[in-house]
A and B are shown apart, each in its own frame.
Chain A
């Protein structure tokens, strides 16, 4: 168990609802949930969730911390916003789902080999280099996510698509060498650093 996770367990002493409200984006809106189930029923990927959103809210209120933080359910969210559009109580379900996934990762509890989690990390690593997403490199890193052999196979399979994209100028092979970035890379890095500091300070505040 990570240090932070241990500290959070001690701090909230079983009041998992409060822990979620304090640490998860839009967690506060969860209080309005009346367990009607329209979010779970509206989710296009619902059948693939171990616990659909309404069930997760119930688990959080019941203080089932382990169940919630050990599931990979919310990584299935594709941000279609069906749930938010239909929720009769204004619960910001999509945001709460992403917030829970993020919190799970911060605590070091993110599921291993969860494809969405993996991709999110690749996307972030790619983005922070130059402040712009290098789509060519991101695509390739995704191809080779599961090893070199798999990567070659996927690349060959998608050869036609890649060529078509290049023809339509939707993909630039020159991006392989350096690639484009923001106008002020140093300023961007400073901003990211500051954000990290703010987040660290917030967590330190949570820990105390």
Chain B
């Protein structure tokens, strides 16, 4: 049984990505009681799925570790993973939050020794790697997963495999009778930070993401470059496993487009610039990157990063929104369009195409479990009608990590103010 104490002075944070963790920690560190709810079995969200972040090119592991240490050192913070909010009722200072907790089938006695994983054979698509690889039916979602606790896939429950896993566990940490639980929690204020998801590239028909194997997305590219990813950090193209050496990046794939996302997703220019650096670091003069862009949006200090990439002779910039992609007999994507600098028509062959897809809210507008003021794309608006519920991070708008963390910190301050008014 999950046992949590919550009062109307508690702050509930929904979503345990970089924004949710930040908001929860900021509020907990000033002495508020905070409950952090995360749908996945681990904290860290989409940031943990990156290889490196810009502009410093450090690994997310580092930021993760700092946050994990802050969590361990704080007694005001309660974390519930595999927890989903189903309903929120009440008003500012007096909310009731209904939470559904899915069974992990593994208790906190788990030491992450991995014995259960060894005996389970069945494999599933690995969602942490955007389904590019496989994981076992008993698994730890990623190397930095917090909590470091295994998960049993519900699909193997009731099979011999689940029993084998239970037998293999030396610590008696596997409980196959675990069931779904529901909780009713009180809260004074709520921070909504369920974050973003990549725009569905299948909707951009002329680019053929659904038809051509060697057309991938920017988030998948991160997993391919990561040494802990499905290819061990090798840039292997999906069609034949050959190393990609001539990579095209298409900007605004689904962003700034009335047919797709109307907004600029803000991070994709920098993400692609960063990804050309991965290529340069890995292959030097042996590989070439080409960025097809409308305009490069690298604001403020990011301008230096952009200039640095521009000075690399192995990176080419073509000012053009690619019109369409075809595929040649070797499954090489052929990009067609017009370079608007000089109106030059091109048909360029690359061996891999990376679509710089944009950001949309992870929760669909139509399925939002709470009545909040949303814009047409589902981002939470800053509106008094939302009462004591505040968006933190990319639930509010498309941000990069840096700006999401700033936004989440501001959301924590708003929530703290609400709770302070109650305790007065």
Residues of A within 8 A of B (CB): 34-38, 40-42, 46-47, 51-52, 54-55, 85-90
Q: Are B343 and A52 in contact (CB under 8 A)?
A: yes
Q: Are A37 and B206 in contact (CB under 8 A)?
A: no
Q: Does B147 make an interface contact (CB < 8 A)?
A: no
Q: Does B297 make an interface contact (CB < 8 A)?
A: no
Cα distance A35–B295 in the bound complex, in angstroms: 10
Q: Are A35 and B323 in contact (CB under 8 A)?
A: no
Contacting residues of chain B (10-54) with chain A, CB-CB under 8 angstroms: none
Q: Are A42 and B323 in contact (CB under 8 A)?
A: yes
Q: Are A90 and B345 in contact (CB under 8 A)?
A: no
Cα distance A86–B337 in the bound complex, in angstroms: 12
Contacting residues of chain B (325-342) with chain A, CB-CB under 8 angstroms: 336-340
Q: Which 7 A/B pairs are nearest by Cβ-Cβ distance?
A: A41-B323, A41-B337, A36-B321, A88-B257, A40-B338, A37-B340, A38-B321
Q: Are A36 and B343 in contact (CB under 8 A)?
A: no
Q: Does B246 make an interface contact (CB < 8 A)?
A: no
With contacts A46-B345, A47-B345 taken as known, whether A37 is within 8 angstroms of B257 at the C-beta atoms is: no
Residue on A nearest B206 in the bound complex, by CB? A86
Whole-angstrom distance between the Cβ of B344 and the nearest chain A Cβ: 10
Q: Are A89 and B323 in contact (CB under 8 A)?
A: no
Q: Are B258 and A37 in contact (CB under 8 A)?
A: no
Tell me the count of chain B residues lying within 8 A, CB to CB, of chain A.
22
With contacts A37-B321, A41-B322, A88-B257 taken as known, whether A55 is within 8 angstroms of B337 at the C-beta atoms is: no
Cα distance A73–B294 in the bound complex, in angstroms: 24
Whole-angstrom distance between the Cβ of B322 and the nearest chain A Cβ: 7
Q: Are A46 and B259 in contact (CB under 8 A)?
A: no
- Point out the residue from B258, B295, B337, B345 that lies within 8 Å of A38, measured CB to CB: B337
Q: Does B224 make an interface contact (CB < 8 A)?
A: no
With a cutoff of 8 Å between Cβ atoms, the chain B residues found around residue A37 in the complex are 319-321, 323, 337-340
Question: What are 27 A-B pairs at a CB distance below 8 A?
Answer: A34-B256, A34-B294, A34-B295, A36-B252, A36-B340, A37-B319, A37-B337, A38-B323, A40-B323, A40-B338, A40-B340, A40-B343, A41-B320, A41-B345, A42-B323, A46-B345, A47-B345, A51-B343, A52-B343, A54-B343, A55-B343, A85-B259, A88-B252, A88-B258, A88-B259, A88-B321, A90-B258
What does DSSP make chain B's interface, helix, strand, loop or mixed?
Answer: loop
Cα distance A38–B257 in the bound complex, in angstroms: 11
With a cutoff of 8 Å between Cβ atoms, the chain A residues found around residue B259 in the complex are 85-86, 88
Q: Are A42 and B324 in contact (CB under 8 A)?
A: yes
With a cutoff of 8 Å between Cβ atoms, the chain A residues found around residue B340 in the complex are 35-37, 40, 54-55
Residues of B within 8 A of A (CB): 206, 252, 256-260, 294-295, 319-324, 336-340, 343, 345
Q: Are A89 and B338 in contact (CB under 8 A)?
A: no
Cα distance A87–B323 in the bound complex, in angstroms: 10
With contacts A36-B320, A36-B321, A86-B206 taken as known, whether A41 is within 8 angstroms of B338 at the C-beta atoms is: yes
Residue on B nearest A83 in the bound complex, by CB? B323
Q: Are B338 and A54 in contact (CB under 8 A)?
A: yes
Whole-angstrom distance between the Cβ of A170 and the nearest chain B Cβ: 34
Residue on B nearest A54 in the bound complex, by CB? B340
Q: Are B338 and A86 in contact (CB under 8 A)?
A: no
With a cutoff of 8 Å between Cβ atoms, the chain B residues found around residue A40 in the complex are 323, 337-338, 340, 343, 345
With a cutoff of 8 Å between Cβ atoms, the chain B residues found around residue A34 in the complex are 256, 294-295
With a cutoff of 8 Å between Cβ atoms, the chain A residues found around residue B320 in the complex are 36-37, 41
With a cutoff of 8 Å between Cβ atoms, the chain A residues found around residue B338 in the complex are 37, 40-41, 46, 52, 54
With a cutoff of 8 Å between Cβ atoms, the chain A residues found around residue B260 in the complex are 88
Whole-angstrom distance between the Cβ of A76 and the nearest chain B Cβ: 14
Q: Are B258 and A41 in contact (CB under 8 A)?
A: no
- Point out the residue from B294, B324, B345 that lies within 8 Å of A36, measured CB to CB: B294
Q: Which of A34, A40, A51 has the most CB of B within 10 A?
A: A40
With a cutoff of 8 Å between Cβ atoms, the chain B residues found around residue A90 in the complex are 258
Q: Which of A37, A40, A55, A89 has the most CB of B within 10 A?
A: A37
Residue on A nearest B260 in the bound complex, by CB? A88
Sample of 18 more A-B contacts, CB < 8 Å, known A41-B336, A42-B324, A46-B338: A34-B294, A37-B323, A38-B323, A40-B323, A40-B337, A41-B320, A41-B322, A41-B324, A47-B345, A51-B343, A55-B343, A85-B259, A86-B259, A86-B323, A88-B259, A88-B260, A88-B321, A90-B258
